[in-house]
Amino acid sequence: MTSQMPPVPWHKARKAEARQPLSQEAIIEAGIRILDAEGLGGVTMRRIAQELDTGPASLYAHVSNKDELCDLMLERIAGEIRLPERPEPARWKEQIKEICTEAQSVFTRHRDITLVSLGSIPTGANQLRLAEFMLDVMLQAGVPPQVATWALDGLGQLIDADAYEACTYVDKLERGADLDAYFSSITDYFSRLPSDRFPLISSMATTMVEGGGDDRFAFKLDVFLRGLESYIEQ
C-alpha cells in the first residue's frame, strides 16, 4: 500500500468548491446553453450532466427524459417573446406581424429550438400567453373563432419554419460558407437553365433570389394576413 504524502508546506490547502445544488432550473439553463452553442443535436442528458459536473442519472430526479427537457426549454425560450401592452384591434394586422416578427427573432437566436415547437401543441404558460394575446387581437378585429384558431396554428408554423431556415444559414456561416457567393452562384445557375424548359425562371434569375430573409418573412406574413382579413364580415 502506497503511503500518502504530506502536504507541501508552502502550498495553500485547497478547499473543495461547493457544488451548486442540482435543480430543474439549472438543467434547463444548461440545456439552452448547449442548444445555443451546438444545436438541438448536442442536447443530450449525458452532455448536460457533463455541463453540470454530475452524473446523467441525477438529472432524472428533476426531468423525466429528454423530451420533457426540450419542452421545458421551449417554454423558457417562449418567455423571452415580448408582447404589446394591450390588443389594438384597429391595427390588428400590424400588431400580429409585430408579434410574429418578435417570436421569429427569439427562436432564431436559439438555433433549432423550433424543431421542438413544430408538431407540438402549446401547453406551457409562456406559450399560451402568446396564443391568448393573438386570439384576443383577432377576435376583437372580427375574425370568426374557428378561423382565428386555425390562423393561430398557421402563424405558428410560419414562424417555426422561417426561424429554422434562418438557423440553417447561420450554421452555414459558422462553417465558413460565403452566402453572397452561394446566392450569386444560384442566380448564375438559374440564368443558365434551358430557356425552352424553364423560360420564366431563367429570365427571372435575379428576381428569384432578390430580398433578404426579413423582407421575405414580412411578405409571407402580409400575404397570410390579407387572406385572413377576407374572413371578417364587413
How would DSSP label each residue in 44-75? -HHHHHHHTTS-HHHHTTT-SSHHHHHHHHHH
On whether the CB atoms of residues 120 and 113 are closer than 8 A, the answer is no
Confidence of residue 29 (pLDDT cuts 50, 70, 90): very high
Write down the CATH number for the domain with range 89-229. Answer: 1.10.357.10
56 pLDDT above the threshold of 80: yes
The H or E element spanning position 35 is helix 24-38
Measured between alpha carbons, how far is 191 from 157 in angstroms, rounded to an integer? 32
The pLDDT-based confidence of 17 (bands split at 50, 70, 90) is very low
CATH 1.10.357.10 residue window(s) in the chain: 89-229
What pLDDT shows up at residue 137?
97
- Reported as a pLDDT band with limits 50, 70 and 90, residue 109 is very high
CATH number, domain 24-78, options 1.10.645.10, 1.10.10.60, 3.30.70.3270, 1.10.620.20:
1.10.10.60
CATH 1.10.10.60 in the chain, residue ranges = 24-78
Of 201 and 20, more confident: 201
pLDDT tens sequence across 31-40: 999 999 999 9
- Higher per-residue pLDDT: 226 or 14: 226
